[in-house]
Amino acid sequence: MHWDRYGSAERAVLLTRATGEAVVFISVGVDIESSKASLALDGAVGAVVGVHPKFISGPFEKELRELARDPKVVAIGECGFDAAGPGWEIQAQAFALQCALARELALSVVLHIDGEGAWEQLRAAEASLDGLSAVRHYFTGDELQADWHRARGHYLSFGNPLRREPRLREIARQYPPDLLLIETDSYPATGRNTEPAHVAKVGETLALVHGWTFAHAREQLTANTRAAFRVRVPG
């Protein structure tokens, strides 16, 4: 979730409700400033630092490299491609840089892919992902995209759309159980009330899709989160 976007009072309430659902979360930055803020806040089990493709505004390698060495950091991202961002060449350069840093520091990458042409850009930049553990954040793609990620051993992370879209449930059903993750991508916005506690509902949906007990789903997803981010998650 984007923990830095909430005020301290809101964070306290959200953390209490998440704890009540036995949900832990990772704080995610979208640029250098929000990544710094995420690292400075308590409550999350880890932080993802990086520059989102929509927020590329200039050189960032030096500052990101310094941030990424913090022991709280569990991945680089959200990085990737977005049709609403700057030119594809600029996005490709930022993506390659962040993948190289993740490889250097033995960190995972969190992928953001959105908008017309973004998927094609990721495929063109595939070499940047060689040897990396990758998480496709908030997956809403199709079966062909899922197959591409599966062939490369990438994690697919599903959010609330899994609860309402049958095609996503079928993709999740067919995807390797040890490569599944769940999230809510929580941040404050007009008309949006998603919060970390709601990830339990996504997990319940995934359990029903696979015919798992809720307890087994929790065990599987906890193990997957530990493996994807090399983070300590309470069992």
- Angle CA 133–137–139, to nearest 5: 115
CATH number of 3-229: 3.20.20.140
User: Residue 217: which of 164, 138, 162 has the closest Cα?
Assistant: 162
Q: How far apart are CA 118 and CA 120, in angstroms?
A: 5
pLDDT digits (tens, 9 = 90+) for 61-80: 999 999 999 999 999 999 99
pLDDT digits (tens, 9 = 90+) for 18-40: 888 888 888 999 999 999 998 98
Cα dihedral 214/233/137/10 (nearest 10): 90
pTM of the full structure: 0.93
C-beta of residue 81 within 8 angstroms of C-beta of residue 122: yes
What pLDDT tens digit does each residue of the chain (235 aa) get? 677 777 888 888 888 888 888 888 889 999 999 999 989 888 888 999 999 999 999 999 999 999 999 999 999 999 999 999 999 999 999 999 999 999 999 999 999 999 999 999 999 999 999 999 999 999 999 999 999 999 999 999 999 999 999 999 999 999 999 999 999 887 777 777 778 888 999 999 999 999 999 999 999 999 999 999 987 766 5
- Domain spans in the chain, listed from the N-terminal domain onward: 3-229
CA quadruple 82, 88, 90, 94: dihedral positive or negative? Answer: positive
Total residues belonging to the chain:
235
Q: How many angstroms from the chain centroid is the CA of residue 113?
A: 11
Which two tokens mark 131? 């040897």
